[in-house]
């Protein structure tokens, strides 16, 4: 039985958690914000979590220099009925700190972790920490029950599974035999007898000096107090990301490299049973209307000078627009069971709420 094709509006209405993902430079954050505008204008209370918005978009969302990081700010001029749009710029370190405080039994335990120099370095620059924090913040907002829809603009990631697998990787790290041996409760690392951890300590000491060994062991020891909580949280996030009311929207541009990444991403989402809810093709060149072939032949005979330039440009724009649509054929096939929406290339980037309203109207008319 044929059913009406899903639209992106259906996907948005159906979700309580929506993640935009895709390659860098395709307008993911702008798309996430525009989806938020559409949902707020249909009467829902929405928060958009972004990682690193371009300055002008940040201005449009009220996330300019005066705004405190990691706190939601209401976006003016958006929302109908009870609907509101709020935006929040992710602060990795603050999110990690909050997680540690939540998961420790006492202030003293929390301080032991937060004041360790290894913790400082880890929460700032550990590869994948930003991804993990985006997921963690999403969970915090989702369970707060304050929002009808949480939208997360994911950090650009060549392999989105890096992002989605972040909680599992943390658990795998905590399950490492070396980590376990370091944290079984010996009073000093000198008495650690496990062969792997001895080797670890020896290697770290020789590579990086003795101070870092003490810091590392102390850090891992203090981390045991939050380990149980982190494991439980990773399990909850794993379920949340695969829930029925969760949707992943892949954003791509029509450039070959971006398309290849997006195709890879869609395959990975499907392989791991993440709910894939739609595709937005941003920045596509408009396909110009075509001239009547008989007129065109006549024009080629007479045209020179500026008129010939007009014709040449019309041909070039057509060639580019067609080339983009050809590149997109494979992606469209991969996404033939979900809505695909195109947003045309414009002559300026989105820098105010009006621009977002215009995009929202195209995404979810």
Partner 1 sequence: MAGKGGVGKTTVTAVLAHAAARAGRKVLVVELDGKPTLDALVHDADSSPDTIELTSISAPDALDEYLRENGFARVAKRLQRTGVIDIVGTAAPGIDDVVVLGKIKQLERSGDYDLVVVDGPAAGHAITFLSSASGLADAVRAGPVKAQSDDVMELLTDGDRCQVVLVTLPETTPVNEAIETAYALEDEVGVALGPIVVNGVDRGARPPDDVDELLADQPDGDAQVLRTAAAFRRSRQDMEAREIERLGASLPLPCLHLPALPVAGISVADIDRLVEAFTASGRR
Give residues 12-71 in contact with partner 1 (rule: CB under 8 A): 23-26, 52, 54-57
The yes or no reply on residue 324 touching partner 1 (CB under 8 A) is yes
- Least CB distance to partner 1 at residue 170 (A): 10
Q: Does residue 212 belong to the site contacting partner 1 (CB under 8 A)?
A: yes
Residue 299 as a binder of partner 1 (CB under 8 A): the answer is yes
The reply to whether 292 sits near partner 1 by the rule CB under 8 A is yes
Quick check: 208 binds partner 1 (CB under 8 A)?
yes
**What distance in Å separates the CA atoms of residue 74 and residue 146, rounded to the nearest whole number?**
13
Residues between 125 and 154 that touch partner 1 (CB under 8 A): 125-127
Ordered strands of the 340-344 beta sheet: 73-74, 84-89, 45-50, 149-153, 17-21, 246-252, 276-284, 340-344
**One symbol per residue from 66 to 105: x for binding partner 1 (CB under 8 A), - otherwise; what is it?**
----------------------------------------
With CB under 8 A as the rule, give the number of residues binding partner 1. Answer: 77
The answer to whether 267 contacts partner 1 (rule: CB under 8 A) is no
Q: Is 214 in the site for partner 1 (CB under 8 A)?
A: no
Q: Could you say which of 81, 82, 326, 354 contacts partner 1 (CB under 8 A)? A: 326
Look up residue 198 and give its two tokens. 């001895």
Shortest distance (Å) from residue 268 CB to partner 1: 16
The structure tokens listed for 118 are 């290894």
The single residue among 77, 81, 310, 352 that binds partner 1, judged by CB under 8 A, is: 310
Rounded Cα distance, 353 and 359, in Å: 10
Which of residues 77, 235, 267, 286 is near partner 1 by CB under 8 A? 286
Task: Decide if residue 176 touches partner 1 (CB under 8 A).
Answer: yes
Asked if 349 interacts with partner 1 (CB under 8 A), we say yes
196 in contact with partner 1 (CB under 8 A): yes
- Nearest residue (CB) to partner 1, 8 versus 181: 181
């Amino acid at each position: 039985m044929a059913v009406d094709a899903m639209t992106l509006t259906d996907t948005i209405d159906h979700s309580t958690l929506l993640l935009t993902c895709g390659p860098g430079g395709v307008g993911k954050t702008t798309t996430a914000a525009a989806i938020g505008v559409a949902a707020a204008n249909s009467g829902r209370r929405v928060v958009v979590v972004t990682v690193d918005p371009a300055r002008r978009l940040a201005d449009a969302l009220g996330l300019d220099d005066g705004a405190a990081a990691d706190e939601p700010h209401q976006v003016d001029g958006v929302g109908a009925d009870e609907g509101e749009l709020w935006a929040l710029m992710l602060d990795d370190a603050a999110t990690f700190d909050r997680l540690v405080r939540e998961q420790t039994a006492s202030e003293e335990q929390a301080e032991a972790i937060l004041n360790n120099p290894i913790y400082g370095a880890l929460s700032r620059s550990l590869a994948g920490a930003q991804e993990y924090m985006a997921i963690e913040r999403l969970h915090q907002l989702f369970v707060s029950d304050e929002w009808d829809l949480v939208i997360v603009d994911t950090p650009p990631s060549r392999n989105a599974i890096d992002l989605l697998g972040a909680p599992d990787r943390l658990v795998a790290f905590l399950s490492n035999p070396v980590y376990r041996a370091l944290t079984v409760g010996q009073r000093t690392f000198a008495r650690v007898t496990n062969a792997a951890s001895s080797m670890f300590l020896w290697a770290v000491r020789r590579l990086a000096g003795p101070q870092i060994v003490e810091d590392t062991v102390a850090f891992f020891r203090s981390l045991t107090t939050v380990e149980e909580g982190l494991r439980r949280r990773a399990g909850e996030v794993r379920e949340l990301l695969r829930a029925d009311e969760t949707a992943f929207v892949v954003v791509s541009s029509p450039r070959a490299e971006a398309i290849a990444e997006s195709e890879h991403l869609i395959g990975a989402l499907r392989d791991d049973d993440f709910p894939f809810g739609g595709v937005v093709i941003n920045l596509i060149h408009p396909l110009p209307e075509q001239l009547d072939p008989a007129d065109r032949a006549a024009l080629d005979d007479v045209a020179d000078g500026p008129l010939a330039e007009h014709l040449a440009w019309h041909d070039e724009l057509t060639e580019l627009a067609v080339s983009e649509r050809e590149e997109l054929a494979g992606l469209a096939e991969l996404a033939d069971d979900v809505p695909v929406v195109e947003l045309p290339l414009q002559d300026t980037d989105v820098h105010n709420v009006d621009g977002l309203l215009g995009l929202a109207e195209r995404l979810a008319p």
